[in-house]
């Protein structure tokens, strides 16, 4: 969560999202209220060039995720695919969720 806050409140990310730092923190606070901690029972290092990305991959694998949603698709895709994880940017997931909502109506 700390890395998410640090990255998402960078000026270039705020410009893209159109959110203020306060709004971004509010979204992260809401997310933190509903997430479940994932114990890292297995470490799969080293798999990635950036050591900071290792915990993202390990959390997804240990949490039995089916999809890893990230802006960092390029760095995580190959390693995630070896675990059967789909890797996609947030906008793609958002559009899929919106599409599913419209289909249910």
pLDDT in tens, 42-94: 787 888 888 888 988 999 999 999 999 998 999 999 999 999 999 999 999 98
DSSP 3-state assignment of 68? strand
Residue 54: other Cβ atoms inside 10 A: 18
When pLDDT is cut at 50, 70 and 90, the band that residue 33 belongs to is very high
Q: Running DSSP on this structure, what letter comes out for residue 18?
A: T
| pLDDT, tens digit, 9 for 90 and up, residues 6-30 | 999 999 999 999 999 999 999 999 9
Burial class (CB in 10 A: 0-12, 13-18, 19+), 39: exposed
Query: Cα–Cα distance between 38 and 60 in angstroms, integer?
Result: 9
The per-residue pLDDT for 104 is: 66
């Amino acid at each position: 969560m700390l890395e998410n806050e640090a990255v998402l409140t960078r000026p270039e990310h705020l410009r893209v999202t159109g959110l203020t730092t306060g709004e971004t923190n509010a979204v992260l606070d809401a997310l933190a209220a509903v997430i479940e901690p994932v114990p890292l029972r297995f470490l799969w290092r080293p798999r990635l060039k950036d050591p900071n990305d290792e915990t993202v991959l390990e959390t997804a694998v240990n949490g039995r995720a089916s999809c890893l949603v990230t802006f960092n698709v390029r760095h995580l895709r190959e390693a995630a695919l070896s675990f059967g994880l789909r890797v996609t940017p947030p906008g793609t997931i958002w559009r899929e969720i919106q599409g599913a909502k419209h289909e249910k109506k």
